Chains A and B, each alone.
Chain A
């Protein structure tokens, strides 16, 4: 069965550079969530999209932006990277917003900022 696909799986950037993470949800899933997990920390909700519109916003820095495209894939853009942005970024998709709400997670994109 198709799963949530994230790319790249690993990314190394320098401080002040820009990074883009991509998420391809499970087919027919219309909701995408982004989570950030720093070393030794619990996952923190960043932002979510439902039917290509932002549905909720969490602790996402102003340096970050995200969108969901017409094919439902989503991209998380991170600018002016800081050391503290080094983390595992998970994308999850859900078939229905606000109903069962069960999330299906991708394998994550590990960002290392040097």
Chain B
């Protein structure tokens, strides 16, 4: 059983605050690490897919880093806005012929205006 841990479980910040949360995953058999943004009543939307140790990706105010050797990824949001409120899911892609994503439980971010 693959263990993908996300912390914190939930987070409340004020508009304009910068924040970050963590995804921990097995450091063996790594293939890819995905981040998804999931708003209530909508389907998950891909933010980043990272495959190389040391990868850093950015999309607007959101960025992510990857450390495959120690098995963690950070997601950063700069200057949080109320529309950033969502659950942020990470998913660990294990390698081999059976490519499979194992999701964490997510971090619920609430940005208060």
Choose the segment among B11-19, B59-67, B70-78, B103-111 that binds chain A (4+ C-beta atoms closer than 8 Å).
B103-111
- The dominant DSSP class at the B interface is strand
A62: B residues at CB distance < 8 A: none
Interface centre among B42, B43, B103 (most CB of A within 10 A): B43
Cβ of A14 within 8 Å of any chain B Cβ, yes or no, is no
B29: A residues at CB distance < 8 A: none
Q: Mark A29-53, 1 if CB is under 8 A from B, else 0.
A: 0000101000001111100100000
**Chain B: how many interface residues by the 8 Å CB criterion?**
22
A25: B residues at CB distance < 8 A: none
* Nearest CB of chain A from residue B61's CB, rounded to whole Å: 20
Cβ of B32 within 8 Å of any chain A Cβ, yes or no, is yes
Knowing A45-B101, A100-B49, A101-B49, the reply to whether A90 touches B43 (Cβ < 8 A) is: yes
Knowing A42-B103, A43-B103, A58-B100, the reply to whether A102 touches B43 (Cβ < 8 A) is: no
B100 touches A103 (CB 8 A): no
B34 touches A101 (CB 8 A): yes
Knowing A56-B98, A56-B99, A56-B100, the reply to whether A102 touches B106 (Cβ < 8 A) is: no
CA distance A59 to B32 in the complex (A): 21
Which residues of A line the B interface, CB within 8 A?
A: 4, 33, 35, 41-45, 48, 55-56, 58, 90, 92, 97-98, 100-108
